[in-house]
Chain A
Amino acid sequence: MQFMLLFSRQGKLRLQKWYVPLSDKERKKISRDLVQTILARKPKMCSFLEWRDLKIVYKRYASLYFCCAVEDQDNELITLEIIHRYVELLDKYFGSVCELDIIFNFEKAYFILDEFLLGGEAQETSKKNVLKAIEQADLLQECHRGPVQGQYTHVQWSDSPLLGWGQRSASCLGHALDFTHT
């Protein structure tokens, strides 16, 4: 994977992770281009597009688009699973994650991503292990800061959760892929 972008339906960038060295200017141009291209696509279209010499795999969860750029030999379908796994991890960590969780706790979203992917490849295939590592690391942070700014405490937003009921409850049975958010 070369990079991953999270952006909103309005085209606002929510997270960017680059695994290839690019200047700030190039990164901005790429994200602008891709955000525009993807937002212009109709919901009925498939999740893949060819862009420059890369394959772009994206999926929308509620108000957020998750978009990965993978190389030619990479498997698009498993990339969708990687995206979904990341959403599940966010969901488990924040508890019914929504876009506002990611806006206000963007650094946590990065920490979770860095426990799941390293250098663009999945480093852990067990959800449990990723979450355990994050919790442990959060505890280390607590020791320094005192309990006030410690582990994430769930906030109730008036925002729609990224994972719909079908997707979350099915996480042990399998998720519904043709979920379309209303």
Chain B
Amino acid sequence: MTSWSAVVGSQCLSLHQGHLPTCLCVFQRMPAPIRLRELIRTIRTARTQAEEREMIQKECAAIRSSFREEDNTYRCRNVAKLLYMHMLGYPAHFGQLECLKLIASQKFTDKRIGYLGAMLLLDERQDVHLLMTNCIKNDLNHSTQYVQGLALCTLGCMGSSEMCRDLAGEVEKLLKTSNSYLRKKAALCAVHVIRKVPELMEMFLPATKNLLSEKNHGVLHTSVVLLTEMCERSPDMLSHFRKLVPQLVRILKNLIMSGYSPEHDVSGISDPFLQVRILRLLRILGRSDDDSSEAMNDILAQVATNTETSKNVGNAILYETVLTIMDIKSESGLRVLAINILGRFLLNNDKNIRYVALTSLLKTVQTDHNAVQRHRSTIVDCLKDLDVSIKRRAMELSFALVNGNNIRGMMKELLYFLDSCDPEFKADCASGVFLAAEKYAPSKRWHIDTIMRVLTTAGSYVRDDSVPNLIQLITNSVEMHAYTVQRLYKALLDDISQQPLVQVSSWCIGEYGDLLVSGQCEEEEPIQVTEDEVLDVLEGLLLSNLSTPVTRGYSLTAIMKLSTRFSSVNRIKKVVSVYGSSIDVELQQRAVEYNALFKKYDHMRPALLERMPIMEKTASNGPTEIVQTNGETEPSVPDTKHPPLVTQPANQANDLLDLLGGNDVVPVIQTTLPTKPASAGGELLDLLGDLSLSGGPAPAPVPSVPVSQPPFLLDGLSSQPLFTDIAAVIPPMTAYNKNGLKIEFTFERANPNPNIAVITIHATNTTEADMTEFVFQAAVPKTFQLQLLSPSSNIVPALNQGSITQIIRVLNPQKQQLRMRVKLTYTHKGLPVQDLAEVNNFPPQSWQ
């Protein structure tokens, strides 16, 4: 059937060429397809999407059958209709081959639509497009320039690298013709060829010789584009074309000096498109080359001063000039001129020009800081702009301009901006203020005031790490404690909805509650509050619906700390015991722990709840955080602050250092099991302290289960995972199995930082006697960092009746294969045992 109709179709064509509609009527085949405009009109009458889809499906069916019948007359019309439907979002890929047939046709109309369809429907990742290579080749050599033009346009728009390789020779030939219509197209086609196949660049080099002597602006413009492309791609070309600088300068000079030429004039400026392109090429040629830069200094100054700036087009040229001046080795006077142009841009009524000015100033602020600084007030004014794009740029630039001299003034403006700006800006602005304050704060009080101001105005937008950072700042400003706690207490009375502020306030009231009620404050008028009032506020936080679970945790801990700072211990005891049955597990756990502290370990309480020591300054993010969670495990730094914690003297570490062969390993002093009350107290102190330290980029663990716990808290807690979102996909391994002692490693990857492997060791004992005073130590090569957390016990029970677990965290930033040396010491049947082992068979998932 199909073959028959195809035959009939071709007979029709040969017999009745030119009278096809009649022929169709005679044979009662398909009626002539509707015209393109008719179809568009019909589709536009569709009232619903469904109706439109139905019309299009019907038409597509007709088009498909027409294609099947190899109908040459209406192919062009059908493809055009298909392109319209394609634009509406309907599939049109079945027209791909028809486009190729149209391209092969002799008719110009067919070719025109065929090439248009090819550019829209064909994709260089489908091999179909290669079928037109030959047609393009023929058309590039066609006798009609418009056919050649179509072929060049298509090649320059969608030619794949294979096509470019095949047709580059033809393009190069056309680049040398005297026909400017073809020459300009060939130049841009060459640009496309070079982008696709850079190694073909050389072949166009001879043709570039006299491109710039051309009078036609189209050819000049496209040639400059071609030269730019070549210079950007190859340093050899760049140095080769440097000799063109005088010629380019001359062309530019002629453009700006010549009188009015109607053909290329735009708002009184002669060919701005060409001017911009030449300026851009000059920028590339002058970059880090003294001679070329010298040769273009004058013309740049001329363009910068002579260009009419009442219209966008003049500013487009000025903008390009400024970029060139900033990028080449220009004279300092010229650079100042450029920055001043940008300064003028800032005052322009056109928001586009203000935007461009801010973007460019942002680029140059690092190199020409002082020149940009002079426009500070204008830049700050842009913060009040109505356009958000401009506001954002102005904000970024304002932060870049903050320094020690202007910090007070700039911060005033930026804090005002923070108050009034849209929510989308608040987070960035708040962290910008934090950073700038940290860098340039004129005084500690100012610093604390500024951060508190941010927390009160944009508290819900600040990042999670701002709470621990502020706490650290406050802790370290000893003389400001009374003032700070008083300010924060007052802020809390005003508003308890801003969670970060409430958390910091709670923490401070817990730490410095005694200063608050003492009514002594040197910085400002002291306030008179009673202990009960303070506790009322903190209990209010525990009850408030506005408080998050994290805030409640802070609040409960603060109340607990006040038990050693206030006289009303009974009230605190009551609160703590009430929360021992809270439905919030986190809060309940805290309360239960604190309750135990009141009951069984009351003698330790004062020591445990002592004021936090001054914290050492640490980077707020980055790999160092691994050593923060547990104050005393800084690798290779012997702990001096808590000497009782290390039951074995430091020489043990040295032993291990020796054992491991010295230079290439970093020993880690392991956290020995706390045996004395004082050391347990120290750990719990850290536990309380970790509220302020463990923030970092991971918000989850802020008040999480303490990593090191005194033994009485362990039961029932050791099963609690340290990290909540861990994919447990890494297989466990046996690291050591000797004399009845077996040590197994299980792995987890810490979620916030995939470079950290969390290894849990499980030590079991198959012998019939317990192993006592068990100590596990480990060391890793220097490229790693290792942290050993406290073991669950120091006794490995006999006959597999239990195990010791201990967590090792390994930071492996370079993702190297993990290696570890372990040292084991324990007492077995009254005899001390010591053994060393090397662990090399870590599963790849644990370190990759």
Contact = CB atoms under 8 A, between A and B. Distances in A.
By size class, the interface of chain B is: 35 or more
A73 B287 CA distance: 14
Interface stretch (B181-189, B330-338, B504-512, B611-619): B181-189
Given A122-B273, A133-B149, A143 B40 contact: no
Contact of A48 (B280, B313, B352): B352
A21 B163 CA distance: 14
Interface stretch (B80-88, B428-436, B784-792, B811-819): B80-88
B184 A123 contact: yes
B185 A81 contact: no
A137 interface: yes
Contact of A75 (B124, B181, B276): B276
B628 interface: no
Nearest to A103: B40
B80 A107 contact: yes
Contact of A28 (B89, B146, B353): B89
A119 B316 contact: no
Contact of B313 (A47, A81, A115, A133): A81
Interface in B206-231: 217-218, 221-222, 225
Interface in B301-343: 311-313, 315-317, 319-320, 323
Contacts of A34: none
Interface stretch (A62-70, A89-97, A171-179): A171-179
Interface in A1-20: 12-17, 19
B353 to A, nearest CB: 7
B221 A23 contact: no
Interface string B87-108: 1110001000000000000011
B798 interface: no
B585 interface: no
A129 B266 CA distance: 15
A13 B389 contact: no
Given A13-B87, A77-B316, A48 B355 contact: yes
A52 interface: no
A8 to B, nearest CB: 12
A75 B316 contact: yes
Contacts of A28: 89
A15 B86 CA distance: 10
A133 B153 CA distance: 13
Contact of A14 (B80, B87, B273): B87
By size class, the interface of chain A is: 35 or more
A123 B218 contact: yes
Interface in A80-124: 80-82, 85, 103-104, 106-107, 110-111, 114-115, 118-119, 121-124
B112 A141 contact: yes
Instruction: Report which residue of B125, B144, B388 has the largest number of chain A beta carbons within 10 angstroms of its beta carbon.
Output: B388
A182 interface: no
26 contacts: A17-B119, A21-B123, A21-B124, A44-B386, A48-B389, A75-B276, A75-B323, A77-B352, A78-B273, A81-B312, A85-B266, A107-B113, A114-B116, A118-B153, A121-B191, A122-B273, A123-B218, A126-B264, A137-B108, A137-B146, A137-B149, A141-B108, A141-B109, A143-B108, A145-B109, A177-B312
Given A81-B266, A114-B153, A140-B144, 6 more contacts: A19-B157, A44-B386, A45-B387, A45-B388, A107-B83, A128-B263
A-B complex: 3 closest residue pairs judged by Cβ atoms:
A174-B267, A77-B316, A119-B156
Interface of B: 37, 40-41, 44, 80, 83-84, 87-89, 93, 107-109, 112-113, 116, 119-120, 123-125, 144, 146, 149, 152-153, 156-158, 160, 181, 184-185, 188-189, 191-192, 217-218, 221-222, 225, 262-268, 271-274, 276, 280, 311-313, 315-317, 319-320, 323, 349-356, 386-390
Interface of A: 12-17, 19, 21-24, 28, 44-49, 73, 75-78, 80-82, 85, 103-104, 106-107, 110-111, 114-115, 118-119, 121-129, 133, 136-137, 140-141, 143-145, 172-175, 177-178
